[in-house]
Amino acid sequence: MNPFFFGRSERPLFGIYHAPKPPERGTGVLICPPIGQEYMRTHRALRQLALQLTKVGFPVLRFDYSGVGDSSGLDTEASLDRWLDDTATAADELKDTAGVKRIALVGIRLGAALALRAAERRTDVDSVVLWDPVVRGGDYVGEMIRLNAPPGSALPPDDGRSPMGMAGFALTPALRRDLEQLDLAAAGPAHRPRLFLIVSEERAEYLRLRDGLAGLATPSTYQHIPAGGEWAAAERLGAALLPHAIIQGIVSDLS
């Protein structure tokens, strides 16, 4: 593993590069993490995913968005556009570091939404893995705010000016507006990279996304692999996640 900073000198991003084992593949894998408590819950799993991908020849880059983890910036400055720019910067860094021309994106939760939107802006992405993606940003915001509130209490009022707590992250009014406009199942480009939708529970939003993806010209697959994500469950908020079956499923899909 090689930890380093990259990107703009005034706003560097933190990344960890995992070099591949031979024989090397010509495609690099960029892992797009979630935010807040979900970032903490999945940290070990994403590290393990990176290690398993290197064993089959993939160069891998994990990174933190601006204002998240070890990257520079404040969470109160966050926006989806900035995180999409960060994802593009990380994708270019992966290509330069690994010497590859093609990439795959693997995203979990909000990272999956960012991975798909980032891939739609590029021509060098072969495939995207969506692991328990945030499909509707408004639903996600509601779930995360409820996790931050005491059990049985009403949701805290939104005055439209002050950041709100969102399960370990400061949700500003601007970021909330960004998220509430997010809907992965809405019509997008007809031609997208090859898509793999992997879910740990069969929620209605995942099925809606599956049906929407099935109507596109690009091949897509759907897999339900029970793994105990339970993202909206308060009792799981601090529990680390290490779903070996999903990790192996992702490695198999990309291989």
155 inside domain: no
HSE, side-chain direction, 13 A CA sphere, residue 218: 20
178 inside domain: no
13 inside domain: yes
61 inside domain: yes
**pLDDT tens for the 255 residues of the chain, in order:** 899 999 999 999 999 999 999 989 999 999 999 998 899 989 999 999 999 999 999 999 999 999 999 999 988 888 999 999 999 999 999 999 999 999 999 999 999 999 999 998 999 999 999 999 999 999 998 888 777 666 666 656 666 666 666 666 778 888 989 999 999 987 666 567 889 999 999 889 999 999 888 777 677 899 999 877 677 665 666 667 788 999 999 999 999
166 inside domain: no
**CATH code assigned at 228:** 3.40.50.1820
154 inside domain: no
Q: At 220, which amino acid appears?
A: S
Radius of gyration of the chain, Cα coordinates, nearest whole angstrom:
17
Q: What's the total number of domains in the chain?
A: 1
Lookup: tokens for 184: 């992965």
Who's near 230: CB < 8 A, 6+ residues apart?
200, 201, 236
122 inside domain: yes
For residue 230, the enclosing domain spans 2-135+185-254
Helix runs in the chain, H state only: 36-55, 80-98, 110-120, 137-148, 173-180, 204-214, 244-254
174 inside domain: no
